[in-house]
Amino acid sequence: MRQISKITIVFALAFLGMSTKADHGDNGKYFEISKNIEIFTNIYKEINTYYVDDLDPAKLMRTGVDAIMQSLDPYTNYISESEIEGFRYITEGKYNGIGAVIKKIGDYVTITEPYDDCPAQKAGLKAGDIIKAIDEKPTKGKTPDQITEFLKGFPGTEVELTIERPGNSSEMKVMLTRDEVKVPNVPYFSMVSDDIGYITLTTFTRDAGKNVGDALKDLKEKNPNLKGVIFDLRGNGGGLLTEAVNVSNVFIPRGEMVVSTKGKVIDWDRSFKTRNAPIDKEIPLAVLIDNGSASASEIVCGVIQDLDRGVLIGQRSYGKGLVQNTRDVGYNSRVKLTTAKYYIPSGRCIQGVSYEDGEPVDIPDSERAAFETRNGRKVLDGGGVKPDLALEKGSDASIVKSLLKEHIIFNYVTGYTLKHKEIKSIKEFEFTEFDNFVSYLSSNDFKYETKSEKVMNQLIKKAEEEKLLTSLEADINSMKAKIKKDKEKGLMNYKEAIINEIEKEIVKRYYFQKGKIQIGLKNDQEIKDAIDILRDKEKYNKLLSSK
């Protein structure tokens, strides 16, 4: 172990050779690094040698590593050898496995979405199937990550699942042959009206720019009357920085600055410009964003806004202006760490400055610095990109979120599919059994907590602590009664949004991801608003002009 300590000291001192923005003459910091690394290895040695119980050295070290990562931002983490397949999916959009989305519902992990034409779907697995065992090893209590490790493997290898299927009285065994699973980053593009096209990008994996460009080319070639394009980045959590540049290049000219990165190591600072001719730099463009649009998505929508190339519609984006790089740390493991912040053409950085429970804290506009777009429009830094046309999102309502989070809609649709072996085409399908869904909620004793209730419960707790509960009791009871009344109306107030989520879940069961996107577009108010803006040249230009 003393040998390890010497090696770690040498490793720490190696940092002295790196060009950073710190004072190169100050070696005190590097002495502290080497000293504390030696202390860490000595503690590890003593615990491993003398602790009363036998320990798993790898597990012990992973606990320490995870604690280090948790003290940093949410995007810096350690990727062990067993997790490399998941990292490959994030960067390449493919992995080796069975091709299905899984979630824990109750005590077991359940298949929530088998991908079309992948091993799970080919073997007959369906959404709603509960995984009771893998190769005869029970899975009760296992997490989705633990189950994923069992399901991934080299193409051609086999894995046996014991499945409990709703509606079946007995369990069934299914043998699957693993294969390379490729998840398309542009799962759907089409015309959403006679003259407006639509392209959705779900992740910035390899070839994202090429695939978006090919989709736009196809729309232009097949629709000579194309007058505008809706580019959907809602829920897109980002991916490769280089692909953010390539995607931007589809719509903006060669030689435009897209993003620059600045961090501690001067040698790693970079500026990224577009390098190719655009597919179309003139066609009116509406970019849809929401609070799930993050990182590379925010680079693209921020560039579109800063250059006044198109109109942003929806909700403020997530607020992740940090760049991660992966470093090899040996034994086929890597550490993914934040190395820089990125800055878009106006000079602003959109990073949220603080986090709660791993989520960025909303920053008021009054605390955000102002910058200008190319046309002189005022834009703000910090805490995400603010859309040019802000819209309320119906699915953000507490009741809709609860129905999704608690898998109520998922479980209801599983029962629905048992009664409906097939449904109409996507264009014709409509969910008309809302009363039945309401009865389902009642029979399953569905309850949810609104934001108002959360605040009120905090108030009650604080009032108890300060001995004020008795004097506030009448006011609190009045608030409770009003909230209860509003909750009773909640189902009907958000009926349209709930039906939209039910329809998407139903259609996904029969027509997979592409079908879910198509049915969602039919009921999507943001799509309708985007079409209206792209058709209204005066309103479109006004949104992009300086005020």
Indicate if the pLDDT at residue 142 is higher than 50: yes
* Structural domain spans, the chain: 2-55, 94-182, 188-391, 396-526
292-302: pLDDT as tens digits:
999 999 999 99
Handedness of CA 435, 437, 441, 444 (dihedral sign): positive
Catalytic residues: 295, 306, 320
> For the ranges 39-43, 460-464, 481-485, 492-496, which has the lowest average pLDDT?
481-485
| Local confidence band at 479 (pLDDT 50, 70, 90 cut-offs) | confident
The answer to whether residue 3 scores a pLDDT higher than 60 is no
Higher-confidence position of 529 and 27:
529
Confidence of residue 111 (pLDDT cuts 50, 70, 90): very high
List C-alpha distances in Å: 78 to 288, 326, 330, 486.
32, 9, 12, 45
Residue 354 has a pLDDT of 66
What pLDDT does residue 74 have? 75
How many other C-beta atoms lie within 10 A of the C-beta of residue 26? Answer: 9
Handedness of CA 279, 280, 286, 287 (dihedral sign): positive
Q: Is 453's pLDDT higher than 80?
A: no
- With a cut of 60, say whether residue 366 has pLDDT above it: yes
CA dihedral 92, 95, 101, 107 (to 10 degrees): -130
Sheet strands (E) in 315-392 = 322-330, 333-343, 355-356, 359-360, 370-372, 378-380, 389-390
pLDDT for residue 512: 94
> 136, 122 in Cβ contact below 8 A?
no
pLDDT at 355: 63
State yes or no: pLDDT of 89 exceeds 90: no
> Helix 296-306 to helix 241-249 angle, to the nearest 10 degrees?
30
pLDDT at 311: 98
Residue type, position 364, single letter: P
Residue 7 has pLDDT above 70, yes or no: no
Q: How confident is the model at residue 91 (pLDDT cuts 50, 70, 90)?
A: low
Which numeric CATH code is attached to 94-182? 2.30.42.10
Mean per-residue pLDDT, 104-120: 95
Determine the length of the chain: 547
Measured between alpha carbons, how far is residue 64 from residues 40, 60, 146, 269, 357 in Å? 10, 7, 20, 30, 20
Task: Supply the pLDDT for residue 56.
Answer: 87
- Between β-strands 228-232 and 285-289, what pairing exists: parallel, antiparallel or unpaired? parallel
Does the predicted model carry a pTM greater than 0.85? no
pLDDT at 330: 82
Give residue 2's pLDDT: 45
Nearest alpha-carbon partner for 192 in 538, 523, 509: 523
Taken in order 543, 545, 546, 547, is the CA torsion positive or negative?
A: negative
Q: Which amino acid is at 9?
A: I
Tell me, which fold does domain 188-391 have in CATH?
A: 2-enoyl-CoA Hydratase; Chain A, domain 1 (3.90.226)
Burial label for 296, CB within 10 Å (0-12, 13-18, 19+), is buried
Chain mean pLDDT for the chain: 87
pLDDT range class, residue 88, cuts 50, 70, 90: low
131 - beta bridge partners?
A: 109, 163
Higher pLDDT, 490 or 300: 300
Q: Is 199 or 20 the better-scoring residue by pLDDT? A: 199
